[in-house]
Amino acid sequence: MSDKVGIIYSPGYGAGWSTWGEEDQALDQELAKAIDCGNYKEAKVIASKNWPEACLGGLGDCKVEWVDLGTTFRIDECDGYETLRLSDYIIPK
């Protein structure tokens, strides 16, 4: 998937992963791979190492959307519920 980039987002109410933390958290590729494989134990270790100040409460609900490099996106948030938008297309949960 070298021509793809994983975007991490949390489509559930509670602690938003990408919008409640640092700007680059959504694009942590090491973490995206662990989440995508369903290995949340490893994901927690990676998140703790890479983002020591982050709230890890919503990490278990995170999803990864793999997109082409250069794709424009934004993540909207309401009460921790994050919605990923690629241009004007909303990614369903």
The sign of the dihedral angle between the CA atoms of 25, 30, 33, 38 is negative
89: pLDDT strictly greater than 70: no
Rg of the chain on CA atoms, in Å: 12
Q: Which residues contact 83 (CB under 8 A, 6 or more apart)?
A: 9, 11, 75, 76, 77, 90, 91
pLDDT tens digits, residue range 49-67?
A: 999 998 888 888 899 999 9
Measured distance CA(72)–CA(79) in Å, rounded: 24
pTM for this prediction: 0.87
Q: Which of 67, 5, 60 is nearest to 35 (CA)?
A: 60
Quick one: average pLDDT of 75-82? 86
pLDDT of residue 6: 96
pLDDT tens digits, residue range 10-44?
A: 888 877 788 877 878 999 999 999 999 999 999 99
Tell me the domain boundaries of the chain: 4-90
